[in-house]
Amino acid sequence: MAAVSAADGTPPGVPRVLFVGGLGRSGSTLLELILAQSPDVCAVGEVVHLWERALGADERCGCGERFTACPFWQRVGERAFGGWSAVDREEVLALKDRVDRTRHVPRLARGSLPPRQLADVRRYAELYTRIYRAAAEASGARVVVDSSKHASLAFALRWAEGLDLRVVHLVRDSRAVAYSWGKQVRRPEVVDGEDWMPTFSPFTVSKLWTAQNAAFHLLATRAAVMRLRYEDFTADPAGTLRRVRGFGGLPDDPEALRILTDPPASPVRAHSIAGNPLRFSGGPLRVRRDEAWRAALPRRSRAVVSLATLPFRLRYGYLGQRGSQPVEES
């Protein structure tokens, strides 16, 4: 295996980030967890939620510890900011509101920005760059995986100075995504009391799905973006893992694919912020396509989603009953 960077005390270079983008419930946590099984990858979960859920609510890290008790995140905070107490959370949240919102995507897609907006986006992107650099140094990994998913954050990060940003645009059949967002799912990372993941109506999911995917197509004209369909990922996990690692500049390493062997090995938990409850499962990882929506999504909901998301369903090859024809990469 190739030597990991930043393990020999050399000055920290430019962090390389694989940003997993797309609408939630598209398999990003599974992809992240599989990538994280190799020591050259450090998967940090959804950094976009760090400010509220980790720093604010002290929710549990993917390792099972509370954020403030997780040694990895303490090291990251020290390296990035001289400790998390040095971060003004309110200031970051106000900055996030000014920069990282879907409505700001058209502005962030431009070639230049007025000085004040440029200063905001640079400052916001710098916070993430520091976290990525610190995570790479603390773990010794060559690539940091952030599965924040939101297109607006990916657009903000393209303004970062000194960041090697590579975006995996993950797409999944809109009908499967709509079915998943309609289910009640408890959030195991909440320590005090009980909380549930939000649910959305089929029509709302259709709008979000179209907006997010459209944004990543726009981003692909301005940044390194690799498109990946959930259905192709689950049909060929090993081939997908090789492709994604290759896109991240990582070597074709048989060891990195060991998690996919049969019988499956138990995964190492990642120090991940937020994400699907799968990250706490601890059991063997089996990659298989979840097709429950075909029987369980009500006919009316299916009709709404099918019609409202038609243009991109055509583009991705999600047509008809079978719904997953091969599609050309664009």
* DSSP string for residues in 187-235: -TT--SS--B-----HHHHHHHHHHHHHHHHHHTTTSEEEEEEHHHHHH
- Give the whole-angstrom CA distance, residue 243 versus residue 228: 10
Nearer to Zn ion by Cβ, of 61 and 167: the residue is 61
Judged by CB under 5 A, the stretch of 5-13, 63-71, 219-227, 284-292 that binds Zn ion is 63-71
The single-letter DSSP state of residue 12 is P
- Alpha-carbon distance of 330 to 328, in angstroms, equals 6
Smallest gap from residue 37 Cβ to Zn ion (A): 16
In angstroms, what is the minimal distance from the CB of 253 to Zn ion? 24
Total residues in contact with Zn ion, by rule CB under 5 A: 5
Residue 63 found at the interface with Zn ion (CB under 5 A):
yes
Q: How far is the CB of 190 from Zn ion (least distance, A)?
A: 16
Return the residues of window 265-324 that contact Zn ion according to CB under 5 A: 271
Q: C-alpha 12: how far from its chain's center? A: 24
Smallest gap, in angstroms, from Cβ of residue 194 to Zn ion? Answer: 22
Q: Does 42 bind Zn ion (CB under 5 A)?
A: no
* Shortest spacing between CB 63 and Zn ion, in angstroms: 3
- Based on CB atoms, which residue is closest to Zn ion, 66 or 243? 66
19: number of Cβ within 10 Å: 29
- Nearer to Zn ion by Cβ, of 190 and 224: the residue is 190
Closer to Zn ion by CB, 57 or 238: give it: 57
Q: Which stretch binds Zn ion (CB under 5 A): 2-10, 93-101, 214-222, 263-271?
A: 263-271
| The pair of three-digit structure tokens given for residue 305, joined into one six-digit string | 């989603």
* Shortest distance (Å) from residue 71 CB to Zn ion: 7
Q: Does 61 bind Zn ion (CB under 5 A)?
A: yes
User: In the stretch 68-97, what mask flags binding to Zn ion with x, by CB under 5 A?
Assistant: --x-x-------------------------
Distance CA(301)–CA(177), nearest Å, equals 12
Quick count: other Cβ atoms within 10 Å of Cβ 204? Answer: 13
Q: How far is residue 266's CA from residue 157's CA, in Å, rounded to a whole number?
A: 33
Q: Please report which residue ranges of the chain form alpha helices under DSSP H.
A: 28-35, 71-81, 89-99, 105-108, 115-139, 151-157, 174-181, 202-219, 230-235, 237-247, 293-296, 299-308, 310-316
Contacts with Zn ion, residue ranges (CB under 5 A):
61, 63, 70, 72, 271
